[in-house]
Structure 1
Amino acid sequence: MIRVLVVDDQALVRQGLRLILELAGFEVTEAGDGAAAIAAVDEKRPDVVLMDLHMPVLDGVEATQRIVAGGDGRRTPVIALTTFNADEHVVSALRAGAVGFLLKDVTSEGLADAVRRAVDGEPVMAPSVLARLMDHFAARPPRPPAPPAGVAELSERELEVLTRIGAGLSNAEIAAELVISMATVKTHVRHILAKLDVRDRAQAIVVAHEAGLRHGAR
């Protein structure tokens, strides 16, 4: 059974998420702030953490960074929970190591699917928040043409794949667009993450936008 830790300072939010997840067949524990979340990860060893970004004692961004940086070799995926008016914290959460982000009004089916995708190492991106993240980067003043470290090492095909990762496409969608196999996509993704020196696809999304890569069809 997949174990999920729900972290939010509002008890009603935690209880609502817990009910949805338990009905979907997950084992759920709760924490009311970032410090409690770190302790719960050490004690309960969850498979996935749903992390609110705004909490007392220790906020979700700092808690995510500490959980991801844990020195015991475990890689506990953290999904950031956000709202439209917290866009500026999404990039910070991704840089801290979150594997993706969801809106708190996500549907029951969407929440359960996101947890399963995180366990399987797939991206967890709310399309509406991804769109606003793109707007965030697009609205920033132009920067000198110095791409993030590692981008210059990518092949033309890897750049095409990274561009589509930045647009939130899944491996299957990338394979269909580029007319290549899923196995080939996975190989490209693995090489991209290694060359960019990032943990996962979520951080690759940030790099894609900082490098100015845009997927014209989306």
Structure 2
Amino acid sequence: MSTSRPSSQITIIDDHALFAESLALTFETEGYPVRRIDLTRPGTTLATVLAATLRSSPRVVILDLDLGALGDGGRLIQPLAAAGTSVLVITGSNDQGRWGRCLDAGAKHVMLKSRPLHEVVAVVRRARDGLPLMPPADRLSLIELARRDHSEVRDIRNRLERLTQREMEILGMLMNGSQVREIARTGVVSEATVRTQVKAILAKLETNSQLAAVGAAFKAGWRPPSA
């Protein structure tokens, strides 16, 4: 007599123990073989997590993007997808550009952690059966957004390279919340001098305000060079 018990293994990669345990219990109740990757063992790195996951050849991997001390779980997507695994990203981030980067790397779907468990289970069932997990237009839209973001970041980084050493220092202080008066006092120069330097920064970054310049630097992941 045949049964409907699923045969595909699910592997969960998540550093939030309670959340991962809840997922595992739910899927085990559904009859799925489930494996949780232990991220707390000494010497664990993204490379060891990848190797441990691939050894068990899971059909579906549920992957958190933010893996605490291990860093960006998104770096696991491409090698897992290349191995034929259906990667389902589950995250607390609502950054649509980040979602698009996950999809572009090969993830099948991206879900918020706040979604009800029964919805997550439904998505896993579809992944197991090889069914589409999201409308193609939505997927393409998110990927295009990610690629536009990538292009924008590249342009910002090119502009940041135009800054002089002193302009980099000033932009770094602006990013830390310093005002023109404080910057002038720290550099033992006049406020007028600092304002002139700030105007040069805005011109080189092609922005029209200090706030926009700071926002661009953060978007590009830029940090001022160490003294």
Question: TM (normalized to structure 2)?
Answer: 0.52
Question: For 1:68-126, what per-residue CA distance to the aligned partner results, in whole angstroms no more than 9, with x for missing partners?
Answer: 234xxxx111001122444332111111110011121222321221111112222334x
Distance in 1 (CA, whole Å) between partners of 2:82 and 2:119 is 28
Q: Structure 2 stretches of 5 or more lacking a match?
A: 1-6, 40-44, 148-227
C-alpha contact (below 8 Å) 1:166/1:209 kept by paired residues:
no
Q: Equivalent of 1:60, from 54, 60, 73?
A: 73
Amino acid corresponding to residue 52 of structure 1 in structure 2 = D
DSSP-derived class of the 1:124 partner: coil
What amino acid sits opposite 1:20 in the alignment? Answer: T
Contact residue 7 and residue 30 of structure 1 kept, 8 A? yes
Kindly indicate whether residue 104 of structure 2 is the aligned counterpart of residue 104 of structure 1. no
Question: What amino acid maps onto 2:109 in structure 1?
Answer: G
Corresponding position: 1:13 with 2:25: no
- Map of 2:180 onto structure 1: none
SS state at 2:63 partner: strand
Rounded to whole Å, the distance in 2 between the matches of 1:26 and 1:205 is 32
Matching residue's letter, 2:29: L
With over 3 angstroms needed to count, the CA separation of the structure-2 counterparts of 1:206 and 1:39, relative to structure 1, is: same
Equivalenced residue count is 135
Q: 1:66 to 1:9 in 2, by over 3 A?
A: same
Is the Cα contact below 8 Å between 2:100 and 2:146 reproduced in 1? no
Q: Once the 2 structures are TM-superposed, how far is the Cα of residue 41 of structure 1 from its aligned partner? A: 2.4
Distance in 2 (CA, whole Å) between partners of 1:41 and 1:22 is 18
Tell me, yes or no, if the aligned pair for 2:13 and 2:63 is still in contact at 8 Å: yes
Secondary structure of the corresponding residue to residue 51 of structure 1: strand
Q: Offset of 1:209 from its aligned partner? A: 6.3
Identity of aligned residues (%): 29
TM-score normalised by length of structure 1: 0.54
Matched, 1:165 2:136: yes
Unaligned runs of 5+ in 1: 126-163, 168-201, 212-218
Deviations 1:159-215 (A, max 9, x none): xxxxx6214xxxxxxxxxxxxxxxxxxxxxxxxxxxxxxxxxx4x45457689xxxx
Question: 2:103: which partner in 1?
Answer: 94
On the 8 A contact 1:4/1:28 being kept in 2, the answer is yes
- Quick check: which has more Rg, 1 or 2? 2
